[in-house]
Chain A
Amino acid sequence: MPAINLNDEPGKELLLMGNQAIARGALEAGVKVCTGYPGTPSSDIIENLAEIAQKMDIYVEWSANEKVALEVATAAAFSGLRAICTMKQNGLNVASDSLLNLNLIGIEGGLLLVTCDDPSAHSSTNEEDTRHFSKIADLPLLEPATFNEAKEMAKWAFDISEDIKNVCMMRGVTRISHARGNVTLGELSQKEKKPYFDRNIQRITFPIVQKHNLLHEKLAHLEKIFQTCQFNKYEGPQRPDLLIITCGSSWLYSQEAVGLMGLQGSVGILKIGTTFPLPPETIIKHLAITDKILIAEEVDSFLEGNVKELAVDFSKQIGLKEFFGKKSGHIPFSGEMNTDRIIQALSRILDFPYESRDAEYEAMTQNAQKLVPARVLGFCPGCPHRASYWSIKNALQLDDRKGFVTGDIGCYHLARTSAGWNLLKTSGAMGSGTGLSSGFGKLERFGFSQPTVAVCGDSTFFHAVMPALANAIHSSSNVVLAILDNSATAMTGFQSHPGVGKNAMGENVTPIDIENVCRAFGAKVEVTDPFDLEATKLKLLQMLDDPEGVKVLIMRRKCALLSQKEEKCPFKVYVHEDKCIGEECGCNRFCTRSFRCPGLIWDTKTSKAKIDEVICVGCGVCADICPEHAIVREEVT
């Protein structure tokens, strides 16, 4: 579906994802350079901008990592152009080194830095709250509460950024960035500007202390601007029994909770869009109208802490207040917000009972619960990673030294689950599988004898594995690195990376050959097709056997979702009814129990294996694992 149809007239109302709204806002503000590294829930901003890059004559790139993304965007901003840089929460950790110098340096053209946080970690390894970075960096932070506001704020952020000649941050969360709602289109910017780097200005952090001081002067200036900002507003009675102060999607939940409980007459809601720095007068004016305050936000108690700070500073003026929120235990400290969490908090604070369903229905849902089997995540049917891990599992078993996998971030992270036989024993930051493996490889002198297989994907290789690989080689560490090269940043939706021959805008570029990079680094490199189970296992065993240096096995096969789009299904796969002897076999349902492809099911009526024709994509790998050769793959002509 085309997201940002450039032919739509201003004033038209569309159903847009929060991230599409942010992209549209940037276009309405006249953005010229757009960068990012993919990561859910942030990727759609750059994806949508890339789609219309040619038509709008803007530059869009998927950068090698978030730090580089920020630097590429900064170059545009140094030269007077407007730029946007996007990433998920973990990405800001990578970019923070650049950010925490750039804040002192300052810029010319507006620079909007969007981070999309993932409360509840739906698609993440943590539920980090990136808002803290705005406080660390002394930079303004906007938090949209609706989809239309996401667009309007993104547009406004460039004005703020140019006003203070510094970065403006914006925080999306999964339920705004990845949700959809009404957005009213504005005019697309037609402004043209020639970029120019003024050599009279040195873009460096010196004089440091003076520039740090300047940042604080700008924060004071921002407090004044935010005082009259349309994104901060109060709705409710003049003197409420309770005031909710909230930001982001929690505003929508708060409104609904108050509505469902019928408390519009006694509970007021102050919505804050400019979360840092808080406009003191706005906050104090509203704290003064009540004695009880509930603060609702995702994830950390960021707003809560900052509001309390102001309440203490102005306590002589407004008196003592009673605060409820995460610190008081009325709102949970972890996980995403929803309307029910606010209802529970209100119910406790105001001693106001609320039941959404009667006891009889609740009892029936309890019974139903027993019927529902969990759906653990797994590799897609036809996924090369299942085959890769199958060989890693078998090689480690044959090696018999209690070896384990140090994992990384991507689809192959699912080896943490039964789908990858729980092989993955460590994972954390991007690239850390190889870094850890480099470390484990040096523990031998202390009597450590377990081998490791570090895994990473092709996009992750360029993002953060290369420094770890250099380290392993420089330290002569005994490392086996399996690069699961599926020619895609598959987990986040097939964005380009330096190893593929196309860039974000679809232009042909020279791909970097991972194999040659590893060889140039000094690693012993082999390439294998993971669907060739036997050859892959043998290559791994040889590498595990080799005590010297860094061994890299590139397991190369295109992501099944990509190949299904591009090619016809290679095989028709079926179970030969006579050859499969079912429970009699002694294989203990090896195919369905052990191989765990969702396309292989166990027919309880015949007590034999069966291929689910709805799920199977015809990769044919399972034909090699059946001890009775009962699974047949026939070439599709």
Chain B
Amino acid sequence: MEFKNAYNLIIAGVGGQGNVLVSQLIGQTFIEKGYFVTIGETYGASQRGGAVMSHIRISPKTQLSPLIPKGKADILIALEPIEAIRVLIPYGNPYVIGLINTRPIYPVDVTAGLVAYPEMKEIKESIESLCMRVYYIDATEKALKMDSPILANMIMMGTLIELELLPFNYSDFYEILSVNFDEEKIELNAKAINEGRNAVAKIR
């Protein structure tokens, strides 16, 4: 796969969704393939309900800065639908490919009745207006069926791999996964990734 000089992925979500972990695994997979990888994570206090965003920047030639410049995202993986829009506003452009988990996590101001969470139809229209192509995945629902909502991140990862948007395949990623995870967790995560891969046939 021909890769341009600066390729930019964003993983957006809410604290506690396993955003940072996925970005590290993607980053390590690229390092193994000989690329320069820079990851900038905006989390800080976000474990406490805030928006979390990881910028994963890949270059075959040079170490890039930890923040994607305005309008330069290539792929967006949103673990929560409204977070997709939050990130597209500064970093989107007409060529972005978006992978969106459809399950909302309501901000506390929404549950408190102070502000509204938009209807899914409205959210989808907005995302589609800001992306070239969008894939929706019911990742949290699939993860709940596996009794572990946290696996939504790995399900999304599986979809990303199966769409062949990146220059690595499942076995490259599995190798990184297996050196980083405790043995008893490897198979469960691999199963979640395969759930996400299987989902591609339906959304294509």
The residues of A with any CB-CB pair to B shorter than 8 Å are 1-2, 13-15, 40, 122-123, 146-148, 175-176, 178-182, 249, 252-253, 255-257, 260, 338-340, 343, 356-357, 361, 364-365, 367-369, 371-380, 411, 414, 418-419, 491, 561, 589, 592-594, 596, 598, 600-602, 612-615
Contacts and interface: CB of A to CB of B under 8 A. Distances in A.
Q: Closest 5 interchain pairs by CB?
A: A123-B44, A252-B65, A179-B66, A356-B71, A122-B44
Contacts of B90: 365
Given A373-B109, A589-B113, A182 B47 contact: no
B64 to A, nearest CB: 7
6 contacts: A182-B31, A256-B65, A361-B92, A379-B48, A380-B47, A593-B113
B88 interface: yes
Contact of B40 (A179, A255, A594): A179
Contact of B67 (A338, A375, A614, A615): A338
B24 interface: yes
A601 B111 contact: yes
A365 B64 contact: no
Contacts of A371: 82, 85, 118, 122-123, 126
Contacts of A414: 45, 48
Contacts of B46: 377
A118 B64 CA distance: 20
Nearest to A594: B112
Interface of B: 6, 14, 16, 21, 24, 27-28, 31, 36-42, 44-51, 62-67, 69-72, 82, 85-86, 88-90, 92-94, 103, 105-113, 115-118, 122-123, 126, 129-130, 140, 144, 149, 180
B36 A182 contact: yes
A14 B41 CA distance: 17
A556 to B, nearest CB: 20
Nearest to B34: A13
A620 B73 CA distance: 42
A420 to B, nearest CB: 11
B111 A253 contact: no
Please indicate which of the listed interface residues A123, A368, A374, A589 has the most CB atoms of chain B within 10 Å of its own CB: A368
Contacts of B107: 373-376
A563 B19 CA distance: 22
Q: Name the prevailing secondary structure of the A interface residues.
A: mixed
Given A368-B89, A368-B129, A614-B144, A602 B111 contact: yes
B187 to A, nearest CB: 18
B109 to A, nearest CB: 6
Nearest to A385: B48
A357 B71 contact: yes
B72 A613 contact: no
Given A365-B88, A368-B130, A615-B105, 13 more contacts: A1-B24, A175-B40, A175-B66, A179-B41, A357-B93, A368-B88, A375-B49, A375-B108, A377-B49, A592-B113, A601-B111, A613-B144, A614-B149
A380 B48 contact: yes
Q: Which of A361, A379, A561 has the most CB of B within 10 A?
A: A361
A180 B48 contact: no
Most A CB within 10 A of own CB, among B14, B41, B67 = B67
Contacts, number: 192
B37 A15 contact: yes
A574 B19 CA distance: 28
Contacts of A339: 65, 67, 69-70
A2 B107 CA distance: 33
A256 B24 contact: no
A519 B16 CA distance: 39
Contacts of A255: 62, 65
B48 A15 contact: no
A182 B38 CA distance: 7
Given A181-B38, A365-B88, A613-B144, A377 B50 contact: yes
Contact of A146 (B28, B63, B113): B63
A376 B64 CA distance: 31
Nearest to A145: B63
Nearest to B116: A373
A249 B66 contact: yes
A257 B14 CA distance: 30
B140 A614 contact: yes
Nearest to A600: B111
A602 B117 CA distance: 11
A396 to B, nearest CB: 21
Given A375-B50, A592-B112, A364 B129 contact: yes
Nearest to B86: A372
A224 B14 CA distance: 49
Contact of A180 (B38, B65, B93, B116): B38
A177 B116 CA distance: 37
Contact of B85 (A40, A368, A589, A598): A368
Contact of B111 (A40, A181, A592): A592
B44 A252 contact: no
A561 B105 contact: no
Contacts of B24: 1, 15, 180
B69 A376 contact: no
Given A15-B28, A372-B82, A418-B108, A181 B92 contact: no
Given A357-B71, A368-B130, A376 B49 contact: yes
Given A182-B36, A357-B93, A371-B123, A256 B45 contact: no
Contacts of B118: 371
Nearest to B126: A368
Max chain B C-beta neighbours (<10 A), residue from A146, A253, A601, A614: A614
A612 to B, nearest CB: 8
A91 to B, nearest CB: 16
A252 B66 contact: yes
